[in-house]
Amino acid sequence: MGSNSDETIIENEDAPTYAPSIPVPNVQEMVRKEPAKIPDRYIRNDEDKPPITDMSHLSSEIPVINLSLLSTGETEELNKLDFACKEWGFFQVVNHGIAKEVLQNMKDATAEFFELPLEEKNKYEMPPDDIQGYGHAYVVSEEQKLDWSDALILLVHPSHYRKPKLWPSTPKGYREIINAYTKGVQKVGEQLLRAFSTVMGMDKDGLLALHKNLLQALRVNYYPACCRPDQVLGISPHSDTSSITILMQEADINGLQIRHNGGWVQVKPVPDALVVNVGDVIEILSNGKYKSIEHRAVTNQNNSRISYASFLIPQDDVEIEPLAHLVDSQRLMYKQVVYGEYARSSMQRKMEGKAHTEIAKIET
Ligand SMILES: O=C(O)CCC(=O)C(=O)O
Ligand SMILES: [Fe+2]
- Give the pLDDT confidence of 18-62 residue by residue, as tens digits: 889 999 999 999 999 999 999 999 999 998 888 777 788 899 999
Average pLDDT of span 168-176:
97
Please report, in angstroms and rounded to a whole number, the separation of the first and last CA atoms in the chain.
52
> Which pLDDT does position 364 carry in this prediction?
75
- Give the pLDDT confidence of 193-221 residue by residue, as tens digits: 999 999 999 999 999 999 999 999 999 99
ipTM associated with this complex: 0.99
Asked whether residue 11 carries a pLDDT value surpassing 80, the answer given is: no
Q: Is 249 in the pocket of ligand 1 (CB under 6 A)?
A: yes
Q: Is 259 in the pocket of ligand 1 (CB under 6 A)?
A: no
How much is the pTM? 0.96
Q: Is 217 in the pocket of ligand 1 (CB under 6 A)?
A: no
Q: Is 240 in the pocket of ligand 1 (CB under 6 A)?
A: yes
> Which pLDDT does position 10 carry in this prediction?
55
Ligand 1 atom at minimum distance from 240 CA: 10
Is there a contact between 148 and 233 (Cβ–Cβ < 8 Å)? Answer: yes
Q: Is 356 in the pocket of ligand 1 (CB under 6 A)?
A: no
Ligand 1 atom at minimum distance from 275 CA: 3
Which residue out of 62, 221, 274, 293 has the highest number of ligand 1 atoms within 8 Å of its CB and is therefore the one to mutate? 221
Domains and CATH numbers, the chain: 40-360 (2.60.120.330)
Is there a contact between 326 and 200 (Cβ–Cβ < 8 Å)? Answer: yes
Amino acid in position 101? E
**Strand 235-238, strand 319-320: pairing:** unpaired
Strands of the chain, DSSP E: 64-66, 90-94, 133-135, 150-157, 215-223, 235-238, 244-249, 256-260, 263-266, 274-278, 295-297, 305-313, 319-320, 337-338
pLDDT, the chain, mean: 94
Give 64 Cα–ligand 2 centroid separation in angstroms. Answer: 19
> Which pLDDT does position 272 carry in this prediction?
93
The residues with which 221 forms a beta bridge, in sequence order, are: 151, 307
Distance in angstroms (rounded) separating the CA atoms of residues 215 and 26: 28
Q: Is 255 in the pocket of ligand 1 (CB under 6 A)?
A: yes
